[in-house]
Amino acid sequence: MDNNELLFRLKQTVGDDLAVLETINNEMVYAVPVEKWLNVAALLTKEWGNIHLSAITAQQREELEGQIEVMYHFWQGQGITFVLTLPADHPEIPSLIEMIPGADFYEREAAEMFGIYFTGREATPHLLLPDDWDKAPPFMGKEIHD
């Protein structure tokens, strides 16, 4: 499946909400609404096959106040990144571990560092932080020296 076919299938799955952002460093970047994310993931894993999830990056952009951006970086011969935007007060996103078990650690890290809820999985126990960490998620505070 080449880029054009992927774009066609993505448009079929997502509809008009799909946005093709400018490529970064030969990576294709698509913005996908959260509601359609499971459909897109199913398209990637079931029909495309052999997809490799490199990482999940969560971040807050200064220009997008009150929102958290989650990026899923895939690789299959070339990089493909999907960008999802979540509200910061209640960030919720469907979990991919049913389709990609390897996403477990990345989701747990995003959950503890940004307070993102992953639905469709039992829990997100701490991956890196101590079990008794009761402060705010480390990346959400403006100051780290608290």
Partner 1 sequence: MTKNIIPIGPQHPLLKEPISVNIEVSGEDVLGGSLRIGYVHRGIERLAQERTYVQNVHLIERICGICSHVHTTTFCYAVEDLLGVEIPPRAQYIRALMCELERIHSHLLWIGILAKHIGLDMVFMHSWHNREIVLDIMEALSGGRVSHAANLIGGVRFDMDAEHESMVRRKLQKLGDQLFGVLDAIRTDPTIRARTIGVAPITADQIREYSVVGPVARASGVAVDMRRDSPLPPYDKLDFNVITYPEGDAWARTMVRVDETRESLKLCESILDQMPEGPVTTRVRRKVPAGETVIRAEAPRGEVFYYLRSDGSEFPARLKIRTPTLAALSLIPVQLSEIRVADIPVVLAGIDLCIACADR
d(CA 107, CA 114): 10
CA-nearest of 61, 62, 76 to 31 is: 61
Q: What minimum distance in Å lies between the beta carbon of 5 and partner 1?
A: 20
The residue from 101, 119, 123, 146 that contacts partner 1 (CB under 8 A) is 101
d(CA 114, CA 112): 6
Stretch that binds partner 1, among 5-13, 33-41, 87-95, 103-111 (CB under 8 A): 103-111
Q: What minimum distance in Å lies between the beta carbon of 26 and partner 1?
A: 8
Type of residue at 35: E
The answer to whether 62 contacts partner 1 (rule: CB under 8 A) is: yes
Stretch that binds partner 1, among 2-10, 12-20, 35-43, 77-85 (CB under 8 A): 77-85
The Cβ-side half-sphere exposure at 57, using a 13 Å CA radius, reads 10
Q: Are 103 and 111 in contact (CB under 8 A)?
A: no
The residue from 9, 55, 67, 124 that contacts partner 1 (CB under 8 A) is 55
Of 18 and 109, nearer to partner 1 (C-beta) is 109
Checking DSSP bridges between strand 117-119 and strand 79-87, what pairing results, if any?
Answer: unpaired
d(CA 72, CA 69): 10
Q: What minimum distance in Å lies between the beta carbon of 100 and partner 1?
A: 6
Type of residue at 126: H
- Residues at the interface with partner 1 (CB under 8 A): 24-25, 27, 50-55, 57, 59, 61-62, 71, 73, 75, 77-79, 81, 100-106, 126-130, 138-139, 144
